[in-house]
Chain A
Amino acid sequence: MADSPEAIKKSIKLYVFIGAFLFFGTIMTYLVATVPALDFGKHGFDTADMVLGLSIATIKASLVAMIFMHLNHEKSMIYWLFGAGLFFGVAMAALIFLTDGDPLHYSGFDKGVYIKGNPVHQTVNP
């Protein structure tokens, strides 16, 4: 069991190592973003920089989740719960981006005239 005193003593070394790696990853993220010699792709911020920066961030986040949050040796129920949260998060993001392909079309917004006294208020094109 990962939580026995012996296992925990071993884990402390791993935590220190992972922590040092996280520091290193942070420094790399900073250098990749600021040092001209490490500016891949076009000058300035472009897709290459975004992919590189987010890749380093994803690796760091995965290490925090796997090691510090003990996800590398958890019970399956936890994986289901976390996975469900991730799934619905991604689904929600996808729905947000899909709205770009389904914009509202109504030609009357800038021409609509409000008709007073109508029992059903409506805007019409003049």
Chain B
Amino acid sequence: MEIPYIVTPRKDTGLFNSKIAIWLFLASEVMLFGGFFSAYVYLRLGAQEDYPWPERALPIIPGLINTFVLIFSSMTVVFAWASLKLRKWRSFQVCMSITIACAGIFMALKSIEYWVKFHHQALRLMDYSVVEGHAGQLLKAGVKEGEKEDDYVHDRKGNRIDVNTINFETEEITFNTVRENYSDWLKEMLHEASEAKATISLAAPVKVGLASDPDHAQVIFNTGEMLTQAVIDKIHKAQLDAGAFNAALRTADSREQWAKAIENHKGQKDYQFAETVGADTASIDAKKHIENQTVTFKVHPAVEFHFESHDTKATATDATLRDGTTLKGKLVESPVEFHAVDALDFRHTVMKAKEKGIDPEVAIKNSWLIKSNPEIAEVWEKHEKAVHQLEDQFEKEGKGREPTPKDRYRINWEEMAYLMQTPLDKVQIVPAEWACPVIHDKTLVEQFKGPDYKVRHTQFPHLEVPREHVLFASKFTPSWNTFYAIYFTMTGLHGLHVIGGALVLGYYLFFGRKMYLSNPEWLANRVEIGGLFWHFVDLVWIFLFPILYLM
């Protein structure tokens, strides 16, 4: 059956059908993105009283290049359509290939942006000051052969550990036997235990059989059995079998009790005698099987395990992992180590201080960062000098301008690098730029990936933040703050649209030849429809770029 009106327009609408369909779809997309843009505006306006909205938090150059790339691809997709209308196949191929290549460039730049954010550490301290930078645990005593003393701790896969970890010296581990997602942690624990020449073995025998006669139950693992994935899997299976058996017992008993109750209360509705229906617990207890809902292993000697902070909650003697596994032992000092602090932000501290009627400058001077870290205090003193110079500059201009809270209370990485290299008496802003001098050796790669920490390791202070001062730690992910949540949501959704659009356009490019030879006008119409979607994607980015990157 031939699809009607793929080329010939309908008499009532004057259009071929797919054009109406795509505009209907675009109307729904306007609703979709309109909802997210509204959410952004609402969140931003609503945040102002209790949370400093991150302005200009994103590097502009990648977003700017992406804008150019998408605008250019919008042009090439319409050229591709025009080529088909003019029956120029080769020209269509070239233009469509460029469009898809632009989509690839867009997604590559976006991926780099996301990757950089996911590897950048941020901390909010108890006094609401914010530290940003690159985390990494420096090697301490016990440097291995081949490693330098200022190298970083690596995990067993050879990756540098740049997450902040909770270090827990573990004597006992209790697993929940109902869950089965242990393999990665188990491997890590077994590896670290073998490195420390420790053993992880069962604390008590694991039995299956009648719960009423434990002495004659079958022992599937004895005390001292070494922990392996196979042991956990077998205990897990035994627990599931016992649990299912006991559940079936209770169900059968419940059916029996209800049947008896219905027999004894003929003529009555079930809710009238429901309270009288019980369970024959004695009978169930006599038949039920042993359930091992948890299983405990001893670690001897105690081993210091490292868990990511979002995977665990720990007190001085107990820790609970995200999957319910509990540990007993001792919480070891677990500071968050920054080998490079590239930004400081006291805006939230200032907001909280103003709420309490405290002078912001006093609040900052009394913050842990300034009081306990001379290097940071020195940088802050230089920054204050730069802010005073900015105030003087605005006063000279006489237009009533003054430094913004971001100027006063935030140091970004370029300013940090400048201040670390410049003595206090030489600090001088560039009057026309209203800012510290631009770092002249900033490379194009740094525009995308942020500072090169290897080259600039003397330009950023080191900092060790004790765990008790940490209010919240996160990489720059949706969980860090509301801005990043909405940023990743909107750009992620937009990126998915770019991928979808590229796939459709790619289909026309690689599989359109046959249709071009049989019905070129139909292919031209399909490319026009795909192009309309592509223009819409570009349209959304035209708004996303200034809103997220420039405002």
Contact = CB atoms under 8 A, between A and B. Distances in A.
A23 B550 CA distance: 17
B82 A90 contact: no
A82 B34 CA distance: 13
A75 B15 contact: yes
A104 interface: no
A81 B27 contact: yes
A26 B541 CA distance: 11
A43 B394 contact: yes
Interface in B1-28: 13-15, 19-20, 23-24, 26-28
Interface of A: 3, 5, 8-9, 11-12, 15-16, 19, 22-23, 26, 29-30, 33-34, 36-37, 42-45, 49-50, 53-54, 56-57, 60-61, 64-65, 68-69, 75, 77-78, 81-82, 84-86, 88-90, 92-93, 96-97, 100
Given A22-B71, A69-B535, A44 B404 contact: yes
A19 B73 CA distance: 10
Contacts, number: 146
B542 A60 contact: yes
B333 interface: no
B31 A89 contact: yes
A65 B13 contact: no
Contacts of B542: 57, 60-61, 64
Given A5-B85, A53-B546, A89-B34, A42 B401 contact: yes
A50 B546 CA distance: 9
B250 interface: no
Given A36-B433, A77-B13, A81-B27, A19 B72 contact: yes
A85 B433 contact: no
A43 B404 contact: yes
Query: Interface centre among B14, B23, B535, by most A CB within 10 Å?
Result: B23
A52 B531 CA distance: 29
A22 B13 CA distance: 32
A92 B28 CA distance: 12
A30 B404 contact: no
Given A65-B535, A81-B27, 13 more contacts: A15-B82, A43-B407, A45-B55, A54-B546, A57-B542, A68-B75, A68-B531, A68-B535, A75-B15, A78-B20, A81-B23, A86-B30, A88-B27
Interface of B: 13-15, 19-20, 23-24, 26-31, 34-35, 37-39, 41-42, 46, 55-56, 60, 64, 67-68, 71-72, 74-75, 78-79, 82, 85-86, 394, 401-404, 406-407, 432-434, 531-532, 535-536, 538-539, 542-543, 545-547, 550-551
Nearest to A41: B401
- If over half of B's interface residues share one DSSP class (helix, strand or loop), that class is named, otherwise mixed; here it is helix
- If over half of A's interface residues share one DSSP class (helix, strand or loop), that class is named, otherwise mixed; here it is helix
Contacts of B78: 15, 68
19 contacts: A22-B74, A26-B67, A30-B550, A33-B546, A36-B434, A43-B407, A45-B56, A45-B551, A54-B543, A69-B536, A81-B27, A82-B23, A85-B31, A86-B27, A88-B31, A89-B30, A93-B34, A93-B35, A97-B42
Contacts of A36: 432-434
A26 B60 contact: no
Given A8-B82, A93-B38, A43 B551 contact: no
A56 B15 CA distance: 32
A90 B34 contact: yes
A50 to B, nearest CB: 6
A64 B67 contact: no
